[in-house]
Amino acid sequence: MNSMKSDMKKKSEIDFRIVALGAAVALLVIFAGGAGMSLLATEILIMALFASSLNLLMSYGHMVSFGHAAYFGLGAYGFTLAIVRADIPVGLAVFAGPIVAMIGGLIFGALCVRLTEIYFAMLTLACGQITFTVLFQWYDFTGGDTGITDFMTPRFGLSEQYFAVFTLTIVILCLMFMWRVIHSPLGLAIRSVGQDRYRAEASGLNPRQLQLIAFTISAFLAGIAGTLFAVFHGNAFPDYAGLGFTLDSLIMVVLGGMKSFAGGIYGAIAYTLLKTYVPLVIQEWELVVGLILLFIVLATPFGLAGGIKRLQTMLGMGGKP
């Protein structure tokens, strides 16, 4: 009885040793690797947050989104437009990004959760394309395909290394928040709907309501990633909301591993490294990435995280999240 008590508690608590380990590795890369490595680390960190926000939806809410970049893009544009069109100072505009993304998630989510499975996915695709098209076409307001540039010093004018540390801090806080959500009563309800919506409904839940909450939180986190990305590069382009980024997020989650909290993080590391280094060696880098993806999906259905867990059990270690 007592062991059980501590078990549920333990599961929901954040293991700060792992957080510290992750942060230490990141800091080592940032400070030992110099400016170039810091830029790469920043990109990986932002992608890790973006992929994790989709992972929340896919692994825990059992919802596959084919339009997740919409919220990344809304984050970037919410921030950028707040500065350019509303003259809001940068320090405040950073809050506009995630809020705009969250509102976008709430509105599109309300539409999408009316359907399930592939029909849900198709609706998210449609919502994503609507967002992209509006950003792309509305020249007067969004700058259209030329995007918005030169409105701020990239990285708030911070050095590559200090901005990487800043990003690391934000991403860690966001991931801790996400962990907290997943292991809270709210998270248990979200997971319940994801695993059997009929059982959850028969027990008194409104599944759509829970799905909408999960969708909105996910959009909010993607919006933070998008805002960071706009600050990082000091620009915003419609592509940030386009199919390319949507696909990237899906690949990262599948590569990193579904059903695992760390899936998005592993996926972002592996995918960004592949995207950066493979083109240096071979031109058809997409082919290589495709083959690697194929191999991983076939070899370990739950991605890198699943593979790592299996290795740990084989070596007789306890399973880390």
Partner 1 sequence: MNQPILSAKAVRKTFGKFVALDNVTFDLQPKQRRALIGPNGAGKSTFIGCVAGQIPGAEGQILFKGEDVTKLQPSALAKRGISRTFQISRTFLHMTVFENMMSAFIMARGSWPSLSTRVFSDLEDEVHAMLGNVGMDTRANETVENISLGDRKRLEFGMALAADPDLLLLDEPTAGMSIKERHHLMDMVVELVESTGKTLLFVEHDIDVVFRVAEVVTVMVRGSVFVEGTPKEIAANEEVQKVYLGEGDH
Q: Which residues bind partner 1 (CB under 8 A)?
A: 1, 4-5, 7-9, 12, 180-181, 183-186, 188-189, 191-192, 195-196, 198-207, 210, 259
Q: Do 321 and 18 touch, CB atoms closer than 8 A?
A: yes
Q: Which is nearer to partner 1, 26 or 181 (CB)?
A: 181
Residue 8 or 294: the one with the smaller Cβ distance to partner 1 is: 8
Question: Least distance in Å: CB of 302 to partner 1?
Answer: 11
H or E element, residue 130: helix 117-137
Least distance (Å) between residue 196 CB and partner 1:
5
User: For residue 108, what are its two tokens?
Assistant: 């599109």
Closest to partner 1 by CB, 192 or 276: 192
Cβ partners under 8 Å of residue 252, min gap 6: 47, 50, 51, 54, 264, 267, 268, 270, 271
The rounded distance, in Å, linking the Cα atoms of 99 and 271 is 28
Beta-carbon contacts of residue 275 (< 8 Å; ≥ 6 apart): 285, 289
Residue 85 C-alpha from the chain's centroid? 27
Q: Which of 284, 259, 257, 287 is nearest to 270 (CA)?
A: 257
Let me know: does 226 contact 71? Beta carbons within 8 Å: yes
Closest CA to 81 of 70, 68, 96, 67: 96
Q: Least Å distance between CB 193 and partner 1?
A: 10
What six digits make up the tokens of 119?
């029909």
Q: Which is nearer to partner 1, 233 or 259 (CB)?
A: 259
Give the nearest distance from C-beta 180 to partner 1 in angstroms. Answer: 6
- With respect to partner 1, which residue has the nearer C-beta, 3 or 140? 3
- Rounded Cα–Cα distance for residues 35 and 170 (Å): 19
Smallest distance from the beta carbon of 249 to partner 1, in angstroms?
Answer: 23
Of 155 and 183, nearer to partner 1 (C-beta) is 183
Q: Residue 75: what residue type?
A: G
Report in angstroms how near the CB of residue 127 gets to partner 1 at its nearest: 25
Q: Give me the least distance between CB of 8 and partner 1, in Å please.
A: 6
Q: Which is nearer to partner 1, 95 or 177 (CB)?
A: 177
Contact 126, 70 (CB under 8 A): no
Contacts of residue 215, Cβ cutoff 8 Å, sequence gap at least 6 = 57, 61, 63, 105, 106, 108, 109, 112, 113
